[in-house]
Structure 1
Amino acid sequence: MTAYASASSSAYALEDEAWWVQRWVELLNTYRFKKRLERGRIYAREGHILSLEYKGSKVTALVQGTAEEPYKLSIWLDAFSDEDWNYVIDSLSEQAIYSAQLLAGEMPAEIEAVFTANGLSLYPFNLSEVHSKCSCPDPKNPCKHIAAVYYQLGDFFREDPFVLFQLRGRSRDSILDALRQRRQSTATSTEVLTTDTELAIQPESGKVTSQVDLQHFWAYAEPLDSELVVITPAETTVLDVLGKIPLPPEDAPAVMGHLKEIYQTVAQQAMMQALG
């Protein structure tokens, strides 16, 4: 569980966390009734949340309260319409860097601007836009059980930032599939246009003659646009290819685990450098 340190008597802060986790905690810090959130934070730290998962566009959880049976609760945001998502995906497809980062499991730092440009807000402006329901008898909302899940969601977002997309009505896979389709459609249209331009049919002979300069076909004098290069993590790593390390059985797992950590760190740094 993420440790949420108290920055002051009235606010909470996260250190060294991804920006999307920080944005969520900043949202919590805007809530007026700090004591209610504080009780929820303690509940989360003490392990009262028995389960937490998202189903469709809702987060569902079981939280153990004072009663024998755990309380059932759900949290959700207003999902965007299909039309809204189509506008967003069109905007995302115009910048190849977004596709590259999303495919790499990274949430682009500028992605909120894409939603804003389409009249939408990826993150809610305040907690009143976060809908919730709990089976406990407390009439106030958020109750301490809901507040506990609010904080636990910080962990959820850290492990999978695309949960926020899910809460807005689209899964990560559906977004990436739509982006691929947009880019393939664009590539196909460009290919057809190029073919129509470069091939001329001679009516007399019925032959097709190519106007492509074959001698210089592979020559390209201009520098490549970095945004056109899509980088994705390799499914098979060097460690997978090398196989088992020839070390004593009691030492091999620790060494392999250490090498995997180093490889993951180097791979992430290389990808971030490549993405600029």
Structure 2
Amino acid sequence: MSDERVRGFPAFGAGGRPARSWWGRAWLSAMEDTALDLRQLKRGRKYAAAGLVGPITVSPGRLAAAVDDVDGGPYRTALRLAELSEADWTRFFDRVASRAGHLAALLDRDMPHDLVEAAADAGVDLLPGIGDLDPECDCPGWELPCRHAAALSFQASWLLDADPFVLLLLRGRGEGEIREELESRTAPVSLTTVDAVDAADRTPGELPGLAGFRPSGAPSIPAAPGVPAEAFALLSANAAGQARALLAGQPWPGRRADAVRLAAEFPTAAERLGSGEEFERAVAAWTHGGPEGLAVLESTWAPPKGALAAARAALVDVTEAEPVFDRNRCTVGEVQLRLDHHGRWHPYRLEGETWWPAGPPESDPGLLLG
């Protein structure tokens, strides 16, 4: 095995934090959703935060460290994840190389949702699913995972936050190998392979000068009958935003959601776009949380049991009240937290008999109970 396929990371000091990236949270969900004892997860989280996990070694199919314990140790602990086959890697490289945005994001140590979804469409699962993480530990405990493997998994999510190439190494390839393969697939064709005369015929001419096309400022558009001048500015800004989203491959909201978005981004136009308490709550939800904020206002869904268990554990130390869970909603007194599909909790406050959006979302629900 080459040195590139073995990476070592120094031990984290004391001071824990939740996984920040969506792929780091997906890693934790794969562990939490198959846990046999949620108490071990809570203890593992504390062990990770206390800095009891030693230096971490990552290699294809295996992530390992020694973990101390107040009752003994250190214990040799590892997490195993199946490597991708050669055919899987070929399909993955084909998909990434076909989209310049995917390649740029990956090299910038980002892992966009659509990259993972594109790989999945090609039959390649990058992120672990339920039962894919196989914990090992030489401690006397029987739980899967034990508190030591749970601690290692929490710290592994921090490594993934900083560098998704850690996940790809676990799946079997080092960063240098991946870069080399992708660069070879995206390199331009050499002109030496093309007939010289034909190449000359295909050489484009010089672009025209653009000095005359530089705008001097925002256009000044007079009001039309029945249409105020500021409406043109709003429409122009909206068209620019839609163009940016389409170029970035982002979905554009439907008609009602778009009206809510416009009212949130252009408050002076809110009265023309909608009215009533329901519309005002929707605008507040978008203001605080964007599309996901609006989604958790208007719909519920059933999150994985592990996500709810993690939330319950995070709330133990910040409230004496018993949280009441109903699908993706958690009510604690006059505060309600709503979980979106990206693992963030959106706070709501009870005003009269109505729940109102109360602030931006957080990955750690405990931070919202102030």
> So what's the TM-score if we normalise by structure 1?
0.63
User: Does the aligned pair in 1 maintain the 2:109–2:162 contact within 8 Å?
Assistant: no
Question: Which consecutive aligned stretches of 4+ in structure 1 deviate over 4 angstroms post-superposition?
Answer: 66-69
* Letter of the structure 2 residue corresponding to residue 92 of structure 1: V
1:188 is aligned to 2:202 = no
Aligned length: 198
1:102 aligns with 2:106: yes
Read off the aligned partner of 2:197 and give its amino acid letter.
Answer: L
CA separation in 2, counterparts of 1:151 and 1:213? 55
Q: Which runs of 5+ in 2 are unaligned?
A: 1-14, 210-243, 249-370
Judge conservation of contact 2:165–2:174 (CA < 8 Å) in 1: yes
Distance 1:31 1:138 in 2: 17
* DSSP 3-state at the match of 1:140: coil
Partner of 1:199: 197
Letter matched to residue 168 of structure 1: R
> In 2, distance between residues paired with 1:213 and 1:60?
55
Q: Please point out which of 21, 39, 45 is paired with 1:41.
A: 45
1:62 aligns to what SS in structure 2?
strand
The answer to whether 1:72 aligns with 2:76 is yes
Q: Cα distance, 1:69 vs. partner?
A: 4.2
> Cα offset for 1:157?
1.0
Q: Which residue of 2 is the match for residue 217 of structure 1?
A: 205
Match status 1:91 vs 2:80: no
Percent of pairs with identical residues: 26
**Shift of the alpha carbon at 1:29?**
4.1
**From 156, 160, 167, the counterpart of 2:159:** 156
Rounded to whole Å, the distance in 2 between the matches of 1:107 and 1:35 is 31
- 1:241-274 Cα shifts (integer Å, max 9, x gaps): xxxxxxxxxxxxxxxxxxxxxxxxxxxxxxx99x
Q: 2:202 & 2:146 partners in 1: Cα distance?
A: 72
Structure 2 match to 1:3: 17
Q: CA deviation at 1:90?
A: 1.1
> 2:121 — aligned with what?
117
- Give the direction of change, closer, same or farther, for the CA distance of 1:56–1:123 in structure 2 (3 Å limit): closer
1:36 to 1:68, Cα distance in 2 relative to 1, 3 A: closer
CA distance in 1, matches of 2:31, 2:134: 14
Mapped partners of 1:108, 1:181: distance in 2: 22
Match of 1:244 in 2: none
Q: CA deviation at 1:53?
A: 2.5
Paired AA for residue 168 in structure 2: F
- CA–CA separation in structure 2 for the residues paired with 1:57 and 1:144: 21
Alpha-carbon deviation of 1:76? 1.8
| TM-score, L = length of structure 2 | 0.48
Preserved CA contact (<8 Å) 1:80 1:168: yes
Amino acid across the alignment from 2:59: K
Equivalent residue, structure 2, for 1:205: none
Shift of 1:192: 6.0
Once the two structures are TM-superposed, the CA of residue 138 in structure 1 deviates from its matched residue by 1.7
Q: Which has the higher contact order (CA 8 A, sep 6+)?
A: 1
RMSD: 2.9
Instruction: Find out whether 1:27 has 2:30 as its counterpart.
Output: yes
Choose which of 116, 132, 137 in structure 2 pairs with 1:129.
132
